[in-house]
Amino acid sequence: MSAVALGLPGMPVRPVAARRASRRIQVGSVAVGGDAPVSVQSMTTTRTSDIGATL
């Protein structure tokens, strides 16, 4: 398989800025920042078993 030229100009390569290092802290039992995984918390006023209403 070979590439097909579409006649479009190439996109310029933008330099990627280095990310600022952050420190890891504990919020209750949840780690935030540093190399901790992303944590998401949400709230709903409906019963989560009622999928239609919750959505």
Instruction: Report the pLDDT value the prediction gives residue 1, as an integer from 0 to 100.
Output: 66
Structural contact between residues 55 and 48, judged by C-beta atoms closer than 8 angstroms: no
DSSP labels for 10-45?
PPPPPPPPPPPP---EEETTEEESTTPPP------S
The tens digit of pLDDT for each residue in 4-28 reads 777 777 778 888 888 888 999 999 9
The whole-model pTM stands at 0.43
The more confidently predicted of residues 4 and 34 is 34
Give, in degrees to the nearest 5, the angle at Cα 47 between 46 and 52: 75
Q: What is the DSSP letter of 14?
A: P
